[in-house]
Amino acid sequence: MSLADDWGAHGITVNCLAPGWFRTAQNQVLYDNKEWVEYLVDRIPVKRPGDIHDLDGAVVFLASESSRYVTGQTLLVDGGISTGAMRATVSQPSKGSSS
Instruction: Please give the pLDDT value at position 84.
Output: 83
The domain spans of the chain are 2-79
Instruction: Please give the pLDDT value at position 36.
Output: 95
Backbone angles phi, psi at 22, to 5 degrees: -125, 140
CATH fold group of domain 2-79: Rossmann fold (3.40.50)
Cα angle for residues 35, 43, 97 (degrees, 5° grid) = 55
Average pLDDT over residues 44-55: 96
- How far is residue 66's CA from residue 37's CA, in Å, rounded to a whole number? 36
Q: Structure pTM?
A: 0.77
pLDDT in tens, 64-99: 999 999 999 999 999 999 998 666 666 665 666 555
Confidence class of residue 38 from pLDDT cuts 50, 70 and 90?
very high
Instruction: Please give the pLDDT value at position 68.
Output: 96
